[in-house]
Amino acid sequence: MADKLTAIAVVPSYKNDMTSQTVSPVSSPMWHHLSASQLTQMLGSNLQRGLTIQEVLDRQKKHGANELTGKKSKPGWLKFILQFNQPLIIILVAAGIIKALIGEWLNASVIWGVTTTNATISYLQEAKAEGAIAALAHAMTTEATVIRDGKKLRISSKELVPGDLVLLTSGDKVPADLRLVKVRDLQIDESALTGESVAIAKEAEENGEPPILEVETPLAERGNMAYAGGFVTFGQGTGLVTAIGNETETGKISQLLEQRVDLTTPLTRKFNQFSQNWLFFVLGMATLTFAVGLGQRSFNDAIEAAVALVVGAIPEGLPAVITVTLAVGVSRMAKRHAIIRKLPAVETLGGATVICSDKTGTLTENQMTVQQIYVDGESYTVTGGGYSPDGEILLRDEGGGMKDETLPLPLRDCLIAGVVCNDSHLEREAARWMVVGDPTEGALITSGSKAGLDQADLLRSLPRLDSIPFESQFQYMATLHQSRGENLLYAKGSVESMLSRCQVALGVEGQTVELDRPLIEQQVDTMAKQGLRVLAFAKKHVSDRQTTVDHSDLETGLVFLGLQGMIDPPRPEAIAAVHACQSAGIQVKMITGDHIGTATAIARRMGFRKDRKVKAFTGSDLAAMNPSELANAVEEGVVFARVAPEQKLRLVEALQFRGQVVAMTGDGVNDAPALKQADIGIAMGSGTEVSKEAADMLLTDDNFASIEAAVEEGRSVYKNLIKAICFILPVNGGESMTILISTLLGRELPILSLQILWLNMLNSITMTVPLSFEPKSSGVMKQPPRPVNEPFLTPNRIKRILAVSLYNWTLIFGIFEWVRQAPWGSIELARTMAIQALVMGRIFYLLSISQLVPSLIAKWSGAKEKVSGAPALAVGIGLAIVLQIIFSNSTFINQIFKTAPMSLDQWLVCFGASLPMIAIAYYVNRFDPPN
């Protein structure tokens, strides 16, 4: 108790505005533990008159406006400049400067054009500036009804200050964090902040004041608080402002977002590591080439050799190819309901080792469904999902669904009570049924319709005369209906509220029987362990002269009808997707703001951790753990319920610390920090703008199955990226070896820097882009996730690149020297034919790593497998051939790139020299399979 008193003591007083304090009131989490008198004293307010105008003005000067503020983003020009801050790009820019200094402006312009093109592509593809704080601010901006100087005023929420007396009514958005001092049937949807799937009823004592809560009460269970951004769905309330702007719970989340730095993805980390390693190699080789060249040739020739090696060694076209490959993956994912906001997320998702998923709407239907009914000692199963009337009511899972005319009387009355004691209705939108009103009531209407009981028909035969709406202090709803002979009173509510008012139950013949309360409570426990939300139903016959209903009418004489147990059921396709992820070696964990019992029941139904107990933790459990205990819990647990935003962050960080690549789903404001921290944040299409802005990917159908499909596409994208790297780098290797060895031997360069740029940009891109359209290989989801630290260049890939590079060098050097020494040859023709032979060899190599040839072989062998990727491959090869014809036969290109026209015989010589590439490709594919 001493700790609690100490906690309260640090809350400053606002009386007479404003004793100077070191602790801000809004930083204290103890408002829910204060009494009304303590609250008004600390906030310096009045529960009848509110604040005075002068107090408001003074506090506005001290605390500012009730709005969220965020840091300014970098200006566009700076973002563009930063695109050049890459090691390989810096080297190319420097090479261009050197060329310009020695007067070779054409070469310099081409090199700078290449680097500018790459920077522009990166700039355009960079994720747009973070809008999460702006979205949060928009979520909080509204109007508020306050009492100031005893007068009711309607003001902008930006004008609120701590201590303001705010009035809430149905339909309002909560404008700031409030400590409620008076409530009447108040219900607030706080799902965006807490993750709770249904609106929270704010409890009140008999005098209408909310109770004082324990200090340790979790945020989602603070029934005497209302938080900024929530929506009032029912009732009325009055509260004092305890926090505004950045100090609200929503504002604290915005600060968490500010503190999160954008994490690099596995793709960018690997590419950066590759770039750094390649940078040192290129600089070393260029320095050696320049030093040796100075001793054999002029300064300009030595510079040309060094620049040619730099240009040849750097894969200028690789960033563009990676961008296109990722963009193709984005397009494919969009067709499978996954919208990618940040390109590297495509590959990251393919490497995910853990998926942390929200429950409601992602793993489940987000539609309450009655699944069990208990009446007169019998348990019935209800089939079908959602609000669709398709489904049956079965006794003990037996065949043959029951309809209106075959229903036992207690079952029929229990269903009628759920349908008519109801303020909601169902509507059909397109091909989907939707509830207008409370999801729980929609489930009751649906269960009745599955038995042939139509709501409109029942209300025509049983017109409503009066009703008592649901009130949290009574825990029930009641309606009075006109009937033949005598009127009927129907009631529904919590099991406790109904059983306390019933002494008898309805029997199978319509007679009343003794109420077996222990048996009913046992059934309730059984249903609750399955995660079902249980409602009880009762009725009472009253005089036909009674046209109104009051609480006193329900005190005694009710006849117990039965129980209906409902749940937001798991999606069938999500169950299959979870199993597919587990087969692919991906862990699936549920992180939700919902109750632990419900979450555990859903996890059990979905097969989380097959043949093993579902290990579950609450937010309170996590708060009491030290780092080592949390590390064990995050590894063992599959369900984490009632977690706060900071705890979601801790869970994600703990998984990342253990080397996991984490995908995190969410839809609420409370999910945003964890979405941003995760390696890939996945927001629901129906979620808040805040979560969407913080995420890397959006699910348009809110379905976990779409995540599994996106993982499959992501893995395919990574395979295609590896193919692109293994296709591009051998050319760079062959070019670099050619320049270096020619310099060391004191020979003429077989290929110039501008010609290398042609090969590395135009030819490489046209022939590599088709690899982006390669279809996914079979069994891609039957393999475990690739190691997180697996580099681009594994030992086998290095062997592949070296083997093909060696052949490319032999081809270039051999053709160049042979033509150079031929009586009909010239240095320009020798360089042209060397390049053409290299390109023809590349065509054979491209075919060897694509899936086209294996698909054709399988097709010819009688398989029904569809041949995929052929159009893109054919276009790429055709375009490359056209460009190479222009390269050698266009007078304009001849002058710029110093090439020469070729005769048909010379083309055939190049073709023949490239044929050995087939054998080389077959050899490297043996130890490093490309598919």
- Indicate which residues carry an active-site annotation: 358
The angle formed by the CA atoms of residues 673, 679 and 682, to the nearest 5 degrees, is: 65
Measure the CA–CA gap between 354 and 587, rounded to whole angstroms.
5
Among 804, 813, 820, 853, smallest CA distance to 837 is for 813
Query: Which residue is associated with the tokens 């077996």?
Result: 516
What radius of gyration do the chain's Cα atoms show?
36
The single residue listed with the structure tokens 């702006």 is 134
Strands in 461-557 per DSSP E: 464-471, 476-481, 487-493, 502-506, 512-514, 533-542
- Decide: helix, strand or coil at residue 240: strand
Please say whether the beta carbons of 333 and 712 come within 8 A: no
Report residue 501 as tokens.
């008012």
Position 469: which residue type?
P
In angstroms, the CA 242 to CA 39 distance is 9
Q: What region, left, alpha or beta, does residue 226 occupy, with left being phi > 0 and alpha being psi -120 to 50 degrees?
A: beta
Q: How many residues does the chain have?
A: 931
d(Cα 400, Cα 409) in Å, to the nearest integer? 18
- Cα 106 to Cα 101, 126, 303, 883: the distances in Å are 12, 30, 15, 20
Longest dimension (CA), the chain: 121
Interacting residues of 442 by C-beta distance below 8 A, sequence separation 6+? 367, 368, 387, 424, 426, 435
**Pairing, β 338-340 against β 200-201:** unpaired
C-alpha distance across the termini of the chain, in Å: 66
* DSSP per-residue letters across 214-237: -TT--GGG-TTEE-TT-EEEEEEE
Are the C-beta atoms of 349 and 678 separated by less than 8 Å? no
Q: Please report, for residues 162, 252, 254, 446, the alpha-carbon distance to residue 69 in angstroms, rounded to integers and kept in the order given.
A: 18, 11, 9, 46
The three-class DSSP label of residue 145 is strand
Sorted by sequence, the CB contacts under 8 Å of residue 404 that are 6+ apart come out as 412, 451, 452, 453
| In contact, 341 and 711? CB cutoff 8 Å | no
Is-contact 709 336, C-beta < 8 A?
yes
Give the Cα separation of 413 and 419 in Å (integer): 10
Burial class (CB in 10 A: 0-12, 13-18, 19+), 203: middle
| Rounded Cα–Cα distance for residues 783 and 53 (Å) | 68
Rounded CA separation 923/918 (Å): 9
Helix (H) or strand (E) holding 710: helix 704-744
Contact status, residue 682 vs residue 695, Cβ threshold 8 Å: yes
Specify the amino acid at residue 602: I
Instruction: Give helix 299-313 / helix 704-744 axis angle, nearest 10°.
Output: 160
Tell me how far apart the alpha carbons of residues 340 and 622 are, in angstroms, rounded to a whole number: 32
